[in-house]
Chain A
């Protein structure tokens, strides 16, 4: 797979009015069966001099899914987050129906940092309460984006309560799966029976805010990644996803993402958002996070089993589910049955 750098040069020239644009260093970055990320340096020649931009060009891989947001929508999400002061790469241009580029794409500033969750959770020089506080603060900034405040009309609104919307979504996913999942069904039933009341206000949930989806540089957080699932919801859902045991990469004592203490994470959050966290309800959303991840992993296993994608990673992801099931059983009832 290659990138048509001539087409990109023409596009950037048009958008910026530069006299000349030269693209260099095009290199596909690792990861992502759904999106492609290309490292790209752009040299812009103008009347008053030359600038070099270090960028990333992000586009759909040929084998895309329909569930995650398209590039145009992701561009809108990046723009809203950037405007709210969130640490995201600055989005530069969105390209649709561009000659030479078969699929929509956008170009953003290139940000560097360590994203590997095993490295981050194990290296004490990188993790700790300081980073946990920063992670809380960034999440609070994301949650400053609300339905009224940004051009994100494409995002669906949850119908009843965000919790009961998820319950319905999970059941539909299991029905599509056709192999019975009694333990996950029990988790979903528990979520239905114990659903908290709908929140007063909906916020922009990242919906995959966890260790593995952000980058850390010398001075801390450099970028929040993977906005494909963002949507309106209850802020506690994002808090629960970040703190769920299944997303601590084995560092169970560091309850905030395997990085630092829960209190440091909450402190960072409330410094920006004010005293809005209902601590008593977060455990509910941690159960929901575990059930949601189980449903996703089951879906990935189904993709493997259908023959659509014979990826070893998909196959093994399906076998993460029993560790999630044990968490579901532990967190939904009396300690011992």
Chain B
């Protein structure tokens, strides 16, 4: 049996030590490297904490592309190809649904890689109030 403290605890504490004890001592290129390390650890921790959300994306993209493909990567590939071909151009039936899907995946990604930026976009109104990724209206 493994002992606590475990991975998440250790990594988060390491990140705090980096920010509190090392970063203040660094300057210039080294400080930039230290800040990048703290950022990378932060993204990694959020990726561990946030659930994947793939199920909702899978269902939405299956509906949008009319496919029973189950692999989310492959579904994204189909969606990308059909967007390129003009299947979801303004005026098409699926245009609004496509935009909602794109916004959903983008909001999910932002929550992971830059939650501050996500909050700023919500404040700006770029993201509709109360928007939740993949929610069926």
Which residues of chain A have a CB within 8 Å of any CB of chain B?
A: 30, 171, 174, 179-183, 185-186, 188-189, 193, 312-313, 315-316, 319, 321-323, 325-326, 329-330, 333, 335-337
Judge whether B103 is part of the interface by a CB distance below 8 angstroms: yes
User: Shortest distance in angstroms between B16's beta carbon and chain A's nearest beta carbon?
Assistant: 19
The bracket for how many chain B residues form the interface is 35 or more
B81 to nearest A CB, angstroms?
A: 8
Enumerate chain B residues within 8 angstroms of A193, measured Cβ to Cβ.
89-90
Contact pattern, B 76-93, Cβ under 8 Å of A = 1, otherwise 0: 110111011010111000
Do residues A319 and B114 form an inter-chain contact, with CB atoms below 8 A? yes
Tally of A-B Cβ pairs under 8 angstroms: 83
**Residues from chain A with Cβ under 8 Å of B76 in the complex:** 180, 182
Pick from A182, A329, A337: contact of B79, CB under 8 Å: A182
Chain A contact residues: helix, strand, loop or mixed: helix
Beyond A179-B73, A189-B84, A193-B90, 13 extra complex contacts between A and B, CB < 8 Å: A30-B29, A180-B73, A180-B81, A182-B102, A185-B84, A186-B88, A186-B98, A189-B86, A193-B89, A316-B36, A326-B121, A333-B90, A336-B128
B36 vs chain A, min Cβ distance (A): 5
Contact B36–A180 (Cβ < 8 Å): no
The CA of A326 and the CA of B101, in the complex, are separated in Å by: 12
What would 12 A/B residue contacts be, using CB atoms closer than 8 Å? A179-B73, A180-B81, A186-B88, A186-B98, A189-B84, A312-B37, A316-B40, A319-B113, A322-B106, A322-B110, A326-B121, A326-B127
Let me know if A323 and B84 touch, CB within 8 A.
Answer: no
